[in-house]
């Protein structure tokens, strides 16, 4: 009768949501969170600028509050994110070369150590590939420290928290034939071949209606899984929340044994970064939308 409970009955999967710490005191919000979901991702509170606003000064209080809220209620926590070109604090934005490499790896080590034992999955690296047809890495200050910055981050994370599952997370890697999808696939394949510690791939899955929900999404999920990694749908939202697209996403995950769960990127439409697109499962009043029923039905019968 709830998203989390129904997902759990489908091979121990989870159904989660992004949460914002400043909404945990909103009773309508917390009621839905605590009733429906068995996994959370901090929407902003574990990003680099939130955790290390000044170099060497770590501010964990707000993130700890989310982790405590979740774990005390049996919800699993996805850590988001250790290394990213965006949401860097000013001091990091201005760094380059080996100084930046060292600072990035120190951030990974410090943060993964702080949360050791509490995080089921880390988005170790987020959004490192370019959009479009190049199949190249995204240009960024981190990329300019050397192409091996991603594997260096994964190795540091593994060392700091050996029991966390380590994921690469990105958007627009949903369509199997896209150059960006293929490029990420080749990186994961290379990491597996060379023993770089990677356990999972996160597909953010920010969809704009039915139009960019690709008919080959299930192929993408199963192709990554065939490399020997789990797959996660990490930031799902769909413009106007069409019931058929939501149902298809759930059924595609259920069809792939290594698809471990789905996280929607917010609870109510009013909580969404795309609040003008009504992309979530609950309306601004906290009422279940038709997409909610489609998802729950798919979880139960799909």
> Which active-site residues does the annotation give?
235
Angle of CA points 42, 92, 109, to nearest 5° = 60
User: Is-contact 203 235, C-beta < 8 A?
Assistant: no
Site for ligand G3I in 158-217 (CB under 6 A): 171, 204
DSSP-derived letter for residue 62 is H
* Residue appearing with tokens 């471990």: 260
CA 167 to chain centre: 8
Q: Does 87 bind ligand G3I (CB under 6 A)?
A: yes
Q: Is 203 or 299 the residue whose CB approaches ligand G3I more closely?
A: 203
Spatial distance between the Cα atoms of 245 and 233, rounded to a whole number of angstroms: 14
Number of residues that bind ligand G3I (CB under 6 A): 8
- To ligand G3I, the closest distance from the beta carbon of 207 in angstroms equals 12
The 243-272 contact track toward ligand G3I, x by CB under 6 A, reads: ------------------------------
Paired strand residues for 288: 282
Spatial distance between the Cα atoms of 181 and 170, rounded to a whole number of angstroms: 9
Site for ligand G3I in 18-57 (CB under 6 A): 43-44
| Options 36, 235, 252, 271; binder of ligand G3I; rule CB under 6 A | 235
Computed on alpha carbons and rounded to an integer, the radius of gyration of the chain in Å comes to: 18
Q: Which residue is nearest to ligand G3I (CB)?
A: 273
Q: Does 59 bind ligand G3I (CB under 6 A)?
A: no
Spatial distance between the Cα atoms of 232 and 259, rounded to a whole number of angstroms: 6
The 105-144 contact track toward ligand G3I, x by CB under 6 A, reads: ----------------------------------------
Which tokens hold the place of 106? 């120190």
Q: Is 60 or 273 the residue whose CB approaches ligand G3I more closely?
A: 273
Which tokens hold the place of 293? 């029923």
Using CB under 6 A, list all residues that contact ligand G3I: 43-44, 86-87, 171, 204, 235, 273
């Amino acid at each position: 009768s709830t998203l989390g409970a129904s997902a759990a009955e489908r091979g121990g999967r989870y159904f989660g949501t992004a949460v914002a710490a400043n909404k945990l005191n909103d009773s309508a919000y917390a009621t839905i969170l605590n009733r429906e979901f068995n996994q959370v991702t901090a929407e902003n509170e574990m990003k680099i600028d939130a955790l290390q606003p000044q170099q060497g000064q770590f501010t964990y209080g707000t993130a700890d509050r989310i982790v405590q809220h979740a774990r005390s209620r049996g919800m699993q926590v996805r850590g988001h994110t250790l290394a990213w070109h965006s949401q860097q604090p000013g001091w990091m934005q201005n760094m380059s070369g080996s100084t930046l490499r060292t600072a990035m790896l120190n951030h990974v080590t410090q943060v993964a150590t702080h949360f050791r034992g509490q995080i089921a999955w880390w988005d170790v690296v987020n959004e490192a590939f370019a959009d479009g047809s190049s199949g190249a890495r995204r240009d960024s200050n981190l990329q300019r420290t050397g192409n091996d910055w991603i594997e260096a981050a994964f190795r540091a994370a593994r060392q700091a928290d050996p029991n966390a599952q380590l994921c690469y997370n990105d958007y627009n890697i949903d369509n199997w034939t896209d150059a960006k999808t293929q490029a990420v696939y080749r990186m994961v394949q290379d990491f597996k071949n060379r023993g770089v510690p990677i356990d999972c791939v996160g597909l953010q899955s920010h969809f704009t209606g039915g139009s960019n929900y690709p008919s080959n999404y299930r192929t993408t999920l199963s192709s990554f899984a065939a490399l020997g990694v789990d797959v996660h749908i990490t930031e799902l939202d769909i413009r106007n929340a069409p019931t058929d697209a939501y149902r298809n996403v759930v059924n595609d995950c259920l069809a792939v044994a290594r698809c471990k769960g789905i996280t929607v990127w917010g609870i109510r439409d009013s909580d969404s970064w795309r609040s003008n697109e009504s992309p979530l499962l609950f309306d601004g009043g906290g009422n279940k939308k038709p997409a909610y029923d489609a998802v729950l039905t798919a979880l139960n019968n799909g």
